[in-house]
Amino acid sequence: MKNTAFTHFHIAAGARMAEFAGYNMPIEFTGINDEHFACREKIGLFDVSHMGEFWVKGPKAFEFIQKVTSNNVADLFDGKVQYSCFPNDQGGIVDDLLVYRFDENNYLLVVNAANIDKDWNWCVKHATEMGLEIGTELQNASENICQLAVQGPYALKAMQKLTDANVIDMEYYTCKQIAFAGIDEVIFSTTGYTGAGGCEIYAYNKDAEKLYNAVMEAGKEFGIANVGLGARDTLRLEMGFCLYGNDINDTTSPIEAGLGWITKFVDGNDFIMRAHHEKIKEDKPSKNLKGFVMIDRGIPRQHYLVYDADGNEIGEVTSGTMSPMMKVGIGLAYLKPGFGKPGTEIFIGVRNKMLKAEVVKLPIFKDQKPAVK
């Protein structure tokens, strides 16, 4: 089991640790609800160093990324970040990821921790076919990079104290390479997985201690709190963000998963299996990922079945939890066509009971506190 460059800080803070994606990761510190509220209302600090990072460089970088990802890389400009996915050759998804453009020959792909090896092998296969040199034009930097996610309405205000670069006015899903917290260069990115606003900061492992201590000190006046993977999951689910392995996988089309907005059928975007996904869009998918809120008291869980009022099976829950902010059960589920309209009544099978729920438009939780400048 691997440690991140921040693991000793988590242990010193009394975190409950467990294995995740091969890493010794903090599950919770003071409690999932406490950490969830800290992120929604103040600042939450997450260790996300287990994520994978692949550099794509050189004159074929654009062509390669345009081939292996579903979004339109031509929409990117220097300093822009894009959410996307790797379509596989079976009609499903290898992984979802972020694409960073620094210049026309310099990109960074950030992939999920549990899929690093699978994603790397997939990228190597296609990069080799396209003539990219592995190790120079395609590099796996995952072992050398640490990453902190600083999320919440006060996150950017606190982080502005650590740099002369203007970060507090950065637009959502943009990035800069800047001097930060006494470190010559980090990647500072206004991205995150919580819906609470804030940033993600990438640095080399050798600078981890300096980065962590500076971020904690800068956030102290705003009530910064360590947050584990437990609250990271409840936060993303309130927003309706997909989790690979739950809501998307090797068999699901991004069209079925409500990710048509990152699957661009435009001229010049001839990604893997494009025709297959375009046909699903034209013919209408046989299932659609939708958010729901429980009306009856109960907590939905992955693989619970979904029914209509007559007891007919119409879908399956992919993610579910008790929302800390809303105090009710919430979830995502694949539903048959005709049941996805907001306000539609559905029933979740929970321990031999049929509990009433309602389909809602995403995000599930909508009363997010605005960023403070």
Amino acid at 107: Y
Answer CATH for 287-365 from 3.60.21.10, 2.40.30.110, 3.40.50.800, 3.40.50.2020: 2.40.30.110
Which tens digits make up the pLDDT trace of 230-274? 999 999 999 999 999 999 999 999 999 999 999 999 999 999 999
Q: Determine the Cα–Cα distance for residues 7 and 131; give it in Å rounded to an integer.
A: 38
- SS3 at position 344: coil
Q: Determine the Cα–Cα distance for residues 29 and 38; give it in Å rounded to an integer.
A: 12
Using alpha carbons only, give the angle 99, 56, 90 rounded to the nearest 5 degrees: 65
Helix axes 116-129, 61-68, angle to 10 degrees: 120
Structure tokens at 38: 């800290």
Nearest to 306 by CA among 283, 338, 281, 280: 338
The pTM of this model reads 0.97
- SS3 at position 86: strand
Which tens digits make up the pLDDT trace of 193-242? 999 999 999 999 999 999 999 999 999 999 999 999 999 999 999 999 99
Query: pLDDT over 70 for what percent of the chain?
Result: 100
Helix axes 32-41, 229-239, angle to 10 degrees: 60
Which tens digits make up the pLDDT trace of 114-132? 999 999 999 999 999 999 9
Q: Are strands 43-47 and 224-226 parallel, antiparallel or unpaired?
A: parallel
Amino acid at 239: M
Structure tokens at 170: 């950065």
Query: Between 373 and 136, where is the model more confident?
Result: 136
Q: What would you measure as the largest C-alpha separation in the chain, in angstroms?
A: 63
CATH of domain 52-140: 3.30.70.1400
Q: Determine the Cα–Cα distance for residues 161 and 154; give it in Å rounded to an integer.
A: 12
Half-sphere exposure of 88 (CA within 13 A, CB side): 17
Nearest to 148 by CA among 107, 100, 186, 95: 186
Amino acid at 305: L
Which tens digits make up the pLDDT trace of 303-333? 999 999 999 999 999 999 999 999 999 999 9
373 pLDDT above the threshold of 90: no
Nearest to 117 by CA among 134, 137, 94: 94
Structure tokens at 333: 């589920």
Q: Determine the Cα–Cα distance for residues 67 and 270; give it in Å rounded to an integer.
A: 6
CATH 3.30.1360.120 describes domain 7-49+143-238 = yes
Domain boundaries, the chain: 7-49+143-238, 52-140, 287-365
Residue 368's pLDDT band (cuts 50, 70, 90): confident
Half-sphere exposure of 261 (CA within 13 A, CB side): 3
Q: Determine the Cα–Cα distance for residues 102 and 108; give it in Å rounded to an integer.
A: 8
